Structure 1
């Protein structure tokens, strides 16, 4: 039963964080960010927020630093929007699954081209 609640809370946090980043943050260092997932501990004390960022490696690093600086604001705004006894501490991490997926697709297309050319 508790796992269902953790999943629902994680999805709600994902939705709210995405909304806050898109509408509330005005930092020019923050580029285009997609919140791809949230892993939350069973006691709801820590939330790992996975984000995908478009741009070069330098832009990604700058965006991650800006998100780190805005962590307090994000947490307080999340506390206002989601009614929990304790707002979880948020940890932001890169999600490279989209880039990895496009790399694999490019490799598969290359293999397909090579097999058709033979």
Structure 2
């Protein structure tokens, strides 16, 4: 199975969907922030490993605590994935903090500030 094949894309989508369901309803660890979302998932073609890109709404401490909480709950998450997905192998999950949403919000705020300054200068 090639990395960008249709089958791999479907597996990525299913794992992302089930992983977000597990994070929304199954994790009881207080370190995991309430506003945690799965942005993307990359499952290796051999279904052995998986990178899950996680976005956390909060400060840096909340983000670091959430990643640590998810890493400690990886066994539980893998077991739940194995129950909900019918895959040959249940991938070993590596959680990666994704800050693209936060970066986009910051850039949007900077653009708004610049346009406001230009409007004030024109008046």
Range of TM-score over shorter length: over 0.9
- Matches for 1:85-100 after TM superposition, within 5 Å: 85-100=88-103
Unaligned runs of 5+ in 1: none
Note the alpha carbon deviations across 1:2-46, whole angstroms, 9 max, x for none. 511101000100010110111111111111211111012222221
Maintained 8 Å contact 1:34/1:51? yes
Deviations 1:30-71 (A, max 9, x none): 112111110122222211000111111111111111100000
Question: Given the alignment, which residue of 2, 20, 27 partners 1:18?
Answer: 20
How many correspondences in the alignment?
A: 118
Runs of 4+ in 1 over 6 A off after TM superposition: none
Alignment of 1:1-118 (within 5 A): 2=2, 3-31=5-33, 32-118=35-121
Q: Give the conservation status (yes or no) of the 8 Å contact 1:6–1:44.
A: no
RMSD of aligned alpha carbons: 1.2
Question: Which secondary structure does the structure 2 equivalent of 1:83 belong to?
Answer: coil
